Structure 1
């Protein structure tokens, strides 16, 4: 929280913590990626020092985990980009499907039996409709 009462969010892996203790208070200093620092004071009479220390260690460990995860993700990016390029460029199956479709369409266009078969189908549908009152699809 800022002095003006606003909250701000920062990537955990860019935050550093330091804790100090006086006789009555625990102080947690948060170093922000902006270079600024925030301080939170916790009265030790309401919260045992061990709990404050445990909290600081948990945040410190979470920040370390976030740094490691960020580095791991960054290491994976080049391979993921290469895999994506390969997948986008690998159009061999699509090209083969287009060639096969063009072949089928060309054979159908050249097949002189198809128009006659369509006429016979229409005539059979007409007969069926005359007999039943319904036209098959």
Structure 2
């Protein structure tokens, strides 16, 4: 009952707000024609207004969509360029002692050493093995493996894995350089390709111009104002 009472009160308030001037003007059958006259004018003006807004929103949404697509296309290429320039260490391939081999680098003594251009040399002494890792700039790292913990075969096998990884990384770098050049060309093209956005902006302008020239909305607004005038003359109150 409480819910019904609240709903009824809301309905009565809405009705009296929609048809101001008193209870009789809002509910009496004697004024049904006046209410219909006001409703008809409201509906025509409202329908035209909603149609215009819908078309304008669709044109704006098209521009928003094309901007988003353009940004995403650029971001995808930028991410590809970043991965080609800085591939990171990659997944782990193998390890021996404190030395860990990854796809694009080797980690030794807590230092990450890029594989590109790296020289690997192995030497043996009575008590231990020596692994020399030399960067292209001449910087070297010496890794020692005690014989009691690492036999010669396992050390040689690891050194061969290192050499193969270096060869693969050198080849990767050559491919990456060509791919990077192409990706940078793709990025420049993508950034400059705003044709879809330009078409969307043209669409927005066309819609706005058509709405400006459309006399139906102006006529409907005049009819609504005239209907409001008639209601005000009848009730002394002007509809909102």
Structure 1 unpaired stretches of 5+: 124-137
Q: 1:87 to 1:40 in 2, by over 3 A?
A: closer
TM-score using structure 1 length: 0.72
Q: What is the CA distance between 1:67 and its match in structure 2? A: 1.3
Aligned to 1:134: none
Q: 1:91 to 1:12 in 2, by over 3 A?
A: same
User: Structure 1 residue 109 and structure 2 residue 212: aligned?
Assistant: yes
**How far apart, CA to CA, are the structure 1 residues paired with 2:140 and 2:188?**
43
**Which runs of structure 2 are paired with 1:88-107 in the superposition (5 Å)?**
88-107=191-210
Aligned to 1:19: 122
**Which runs of structure 2 are paired with 1:18-37 in the superposition (5 Å)?**
18-37=121-140
**How far apart, CA to CA, are the structure 1 residues paired with 2:115 and 2:197?**
45
Asked if structure 2 preserves the Cα contact closer than 8 Å seen for 1:17 and 1:60, the reply is: yes
Q: What is the CA distance between 1:116 and its match in structure 2? A: 4.1
Q: What is the CA distance between 1:77 and its match in structure 2? A: 1.6
Q: What is the CA distance between 1:86 and its match in structure 2? A: 1.8
Structure 2 unpaired stretches of 5+: 1-97, 99-108, 228-240
**Residues 12-47 of structure 1, C-alpha deviations (whole Å, 9 max, x = no match):** 213211002234322111113441322222222221
Q: What is the CA distance between 1:56 and its match in structure 2? A: 0.8
Aligned to 1:49: 152
**Residues 100-132 of structure 1, C-alpha deviations (whole Å, 9 max, x = no match):** 211110010111111344575xx8xxxxxxxxx
**How far apart, CA to CA, are the structure 2 residues paired with 1:11 and 1:70?**
11
RMSD across aligned positions (CA): 2.4
Larger helix proportion, structure 1 or 2?
2
TM-score using structure 2 length: 0.43
Aligned to 1:61: 164
**How far apart, CA to CA, are the structure 2 residues paired with 1:36 and 1:86?**
40
User: Structure 1 residue 38 and structure 2 residue 111: aligned?
Assistant: no
Return structure 1 stretches of 4+ with deviation > 4 angstroms.
Answer: none
Max Rg structure: 2
The higher relative CO (CA closer than 8 Å, separation ≥ 6) is in 2
Asked if structure 2 preserves the Cα contact closer than 8 Å seen for 1:29 and 1:38, the reply is: yes
